[in-house]
């Protein structure tokens, strides 16, 4: 399916697989409608493994992101910042300003500033610090400034302090669950090796493909499944009483105050899959 005026969506995560886990369903819906999507990993992902050395892991994770890009027909860029060492420096901010200007997104999705992982927090700070500056010509002057500040929204999380996540956009992603799982299983080193290690479970790397996919499904439904009940009032408000009560899997997004405002008009334009 194609559209005559495709949206340009930029999802900025701290690590390879962050974008897929939090916005893989939304991405599938955008791509079905012919919109353009780019994933960015701000770090190289070199720290996320218990056995593979950083240099080797970086190459493995790059290959995994290429598989996602090919599968979904999207752009996928990994920046050179080291995993676990990300700082919101001027250099990193300027790199992100240049990237945002070159891609010219209508919507940017990223982490919130309060998060368990320091790389997630730094990524959020970098995106928020780039907001507004992307329209200032004398900052990063080698790349033409944008005329309009993009809308920015936060990916979901469950952290409560200093403020809980408060979505105004909820998307039913159960119809595209298979496409979400397609993306997750591309990240073999993460979901079947590193994740079981962090959970003190047996590594699954030698399991058959059906078992791996079932593990990814169980993890995703346990990880993102609670969102629908947590924000049921917003789901019902969005989809109506009958459908809203039956939806089991959502992705949720909270507007960031630093981008252009997510007005009702902007919401209809940027999330055309909503009723």
pLDDT at 105 over 70: yes
CATH topology of domain 8-270: Rossmann fold (3.40.50)
d(CA 37, CA 57): 25
pLDDT at 1 over 80: no
Whether the CB-CB separation of 110 and 123 falls below 8 Å is answered with yes
Per-residue model confidence (pLDDT) at position 75: 98
What's the alpha-carbon Rg for the chain, to the nearest Å?
A: 18
Digit-coded pLDDT (tens) for 159-195: 999 999 999 999 999 999 999 999 999 999 999 999 9
pLDDT at 148 over 80: yes
Task: List, edge to edge, every strand of the sheet that includes 107-110.
Answer: 75-81, 36-43, 8-13, 107-110, 151-155, 250-255, 169-172
Place of tokens 């593990």: 215
Closest CA to 72 of 105, 107, 31: 31
d(CA 74, CA 68): 8
Digit-coded pLDDT (tens) for 196-230: 999 999 888 778 999 999 999 999 999 999 999 99
Place of tokens 């240099």: 55
Please state, rounded to an integer, the average pLDDT across all residues of the chain.
96
Whether the CB-CB separation of 17 and 184 falls below 8 Å is answered with yes
Per this entry, what is the length of the chain? 275
Digit-coded pLDDT (tens) for 5-55: 999 999 999 999 999 999 999 999 999 999 999 999 999 999 999 999 999
pTM of the full predicted structure? Answer: 0.97
Whether the CB-CB separation of 88 and 133 falls below 8 Å is answered with no
What residues form DSSP beta bridges with 38?
A: 10, 75
Whether the CB-CB separation of 114 and 129 falls below 8 Å is answered with no
Half-sphere exposure of residue 172, counting CA atoms within 13 Å on the CB side?
Answer: 18
Neighbouring CB atoms inside 10 A of 246's CB total 12
Place of tokens 């300027």: 94
d(CA 134, CA 132): 5
Place of tokens 């920046």: 79
The band of 269, judged by pLDDT with boundaries at 50, 70 and 90, is very high
Show me where the domains of the chain are located.
8-270
The band of 2, judged by pLDDT with boundaries at 50, 70 and 90, is low
Region 76-88 average pLDDT: 98
């Amino acid at each position: 399916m194609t559209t005559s005026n495709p949206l340009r969506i930029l999802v900025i995560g701290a690590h390879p697989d962050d974008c897929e886990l939090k916005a893989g369903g939304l991405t599938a819906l955008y791509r079905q409608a012919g919109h353009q999507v780019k994933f960015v990993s701000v770090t190289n992902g070199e720290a996320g493994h218990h056995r593979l050395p950083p240099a080797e892991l970086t190459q493995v994770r790059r290959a995994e992101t290429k598989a996602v890009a090919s599968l979904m027909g999207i752009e996928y860029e990994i920046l050179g910042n080291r995993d676990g060492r990300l700082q919101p420096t001027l250099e990193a901010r300027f790199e992100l300003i240049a990237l945002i200007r070159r891609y010219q997104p209508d919507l940017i999705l990223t982490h919130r500033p309060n998060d368990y992982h320091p790389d997630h927090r730094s990524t959020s700070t970098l995106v928020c610090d780039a907001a507004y500056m992307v329209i200032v010509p004398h900052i990063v002057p080698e790349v033409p400034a944008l005329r309009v500040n993009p809308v920015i929204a936060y990916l979901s999380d469950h952290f409560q302090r200093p403020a809980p996540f408060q979505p105004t956009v909820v998307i039913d992603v159960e119809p595209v669950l298979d496409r979400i799982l397609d993306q997750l299983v591309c990240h073999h080193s993460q979901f079947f090796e590193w994740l079981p290690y962090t959970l003190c479970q047996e590594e699954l790397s030698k399991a058959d493909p059906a078992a791996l996919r079932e593990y990814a499904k169980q993890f995703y439904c346990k990880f993102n499944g609670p969102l629908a009940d947590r924000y049921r009032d917003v789901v019902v408000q969005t989809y109506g009483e009958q459908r809203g009560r039956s939806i089991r899997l959502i992705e949720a997004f909270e507007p960031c105050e630093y981008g252009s405002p997510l007005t009702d008009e902007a919401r209809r334009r940027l999330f055309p899959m909503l009723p």
